[in-house]
Amino acid sequence: MRRIRKPYTVISICLLLFFAATSCKKTLQTSPPGTSAVETFEELWTFMDRHYALFDVKQIEWKMIYDKYRSTVTNAMTEAALFEVCADMLEELKDGHVTLISPFKTFTYENFYRLFPTNFNYPNISANYLGSSSKVSGPFIYTIKQGIGYLYCKSFRDDYTNEDLEKVFNELQSTTGLILDIRSNTGGKAGNVNRLVQKFLDKKTLVKYELVKSGPGHNQFLLPNAYYLEPTAIPYSNPVIVLTNRTCFSACNDFASYMNYLPQVTILGDQTGGGGSIPNNYILANGWTLQYSSTITLSADKIPIDAGITPDIYLNISPIDETNGIDPLIEKAFLLLK
C-alpha cells in the first residue's frame, strides 16, 4: 500500500503546482485592458504620444493637447461623445493620414484640401481636352494633341502592369512634351509611384529619405534611410509639366516630390496636400481602429514633405473658367511646352 500511495501523492502535488502556476492570470497579463471612456482616451493619447512621428515636424505640444481634452472626458459620457472628443484631439494634428474608425462614425482630417480651391474638374477635361481620341491603359488616360502628350493618372491605388505602362509610353515617346496630370490623386501604393517615376529617370536617382521611429520619444528616430530609383530602358526625356492641386495627397505627394528634382520637370498648379509619411494602424481596446503617421519622409535635399510640395508656377482655376469649361492649368502647360 505504501508503494502505491506515494506515487499518487507526488503526482497530485505536481498537478496542484502546475494548475496553480498556469491559472495565475494577473501575473501573466494577457487579459484585455479596460474600455471605459477615460481608459480609451488615455490609451489613444498614450499610443499617439509614443508612436506618432510628426510632433516635432508639426511643432505640436502633445502634452498641452492632453491637458486641453482630458478634462472633458468622464466615464459617464456616451461612446459617441467620447468619439467626438477623441476626433477633436486628433484634428489638432492637421494630418490627413490620421483617422479614427468606430462602428458608428469615422474621423479623417480633410481640411488639407477642403479649405482650398479644388482646381480640378474632370468632366470639363473629358469633354474639352480628352475628347474621343483619348485612350485608357490601366489607371492612365492619355491623348496626344499637336505633338504634346496629356497623361492623367487618377490614382496610385490600383496596381498596373508593365504592359499598361509600356503601352502608354510607347505612344508618348513621339511627343515633344508631356502634361502629367496628378490632380485629385489621393495616393496609393509606393510601388506604383516608383514605376511611373522610373520612366523619367536617365540615371540612378536619390528620391527621398525615410525616418523610422527607434523608440517612444518624440524625436527618437533611426538615421535617415536613403531611397534610390533606377531608370528604365528607354526614359522619357522631353520636358514634362506636372499638374497638382491640394487633393494630391500621400503617395501622390511623394510622386510630386520625386519629380520636382528632375531637371526636365516643372510643377504647375497649387501646392500638394502633403501626407509625407507612411501610415500605420492600431486597434484600440474598445475595437476602434486608429491610423497614424509612423514615419517622416524627407525630400532628396532632406526637407520634410509633410506640408506638401510647392509648385514652380502657382495657378488656380477661377469659377468663371470652370463654368466655361476651361482648365487654365492645361492651357498654360500647352503654352509652356509649345
Contact 93, 64 (CB under 8 A): no
By CB under 8 A, residue 12 contacts other proteins: no
Tell which positions 77-106 bind other proteins, by CB under 8 A. Answer: none
By CB under 8 A, residue 32 contacts other proteins: yes
Point out which residues pair with 135 in neighbouring strands: 142
User: Looking at 12-20, 151-159, 172-180, 197-205, which segment touches other proteins (CB under 8 A)?
Assistant: 12-20
For residue 99, the minimal CB distance to other proteins (Å) is: 11
Tell which positions 254-293 bind other proteins, by CB under 8 A. Answer: 278-287, 289, 291
Q: Which residue, 149 or 188, has its beta carbon nearer to other proteins?
A: 188
By CB under 8 A, residue 161 contacts other proteins: no
Q: Which residue, 137 or 185, has its beta carbon nearer to other proteins?
A: 185
Backbone φ, ψ for residue 101 (5° rounding): -120, 120
User: Looking at 6-14, 147-155, 158-166, 231-239, which segment touches other proteins (CB under 8 A)?
Assistant: 6-14
Taking CB under 8 A as the rule, which mask of x and - marks residues 41-80 in contact with other proteins? --x-------x-x---------------------------
Give the three-class secondary structure for 192: helix
Provide the grid cell at 51.
508612436
> For the chain, first and last CA: distance in Å?
108
Helices (H) and strands (E) in the chain, counts: 13, 14
Number of residues that bind other proteins (CB under 8 A): 40
Strands (E), the chain: 99-101, 106-108, 135-137, 140-145, 148-153, 177-181, 205-212, 225-229, 240-244, 265-269, 279-283, 289-293, 295-298, 313-314
Instruction: Tell me which of 253, 295, 297, 299 binds other proteins, using CB under 8 A.
Output: 295
By CB under 8 A, residue 157 contacts other proteins: no
Give me the long-range contacts of 151-155 (CB less than 8 A, separation at least 24).
151/178, 151/179, 151/180, 151/181, 152/125, 152/181, 153/180, 153/181, 153/182, 153/185, 153/196, 154/184, 154/185, 155/185, 155/186, 155/187, 155/188
By CB under 8 A, residue 294 contacts other proteins: yes
Provide the grid cell at 138.
490601366
Taking CB under 8 A as the rule, which mask of x and - marks residues 186-225 in contact with other proteins? --------------------------xxxxx---x-x---
What residues line the site for other proteins (CB under 8 A)? 4, 6-7, 10-11, 14-15, 18, 21-22, 28-33, 43, 51, 53, 212-216, 220, 222, 278-287, 289, 291, 294-295
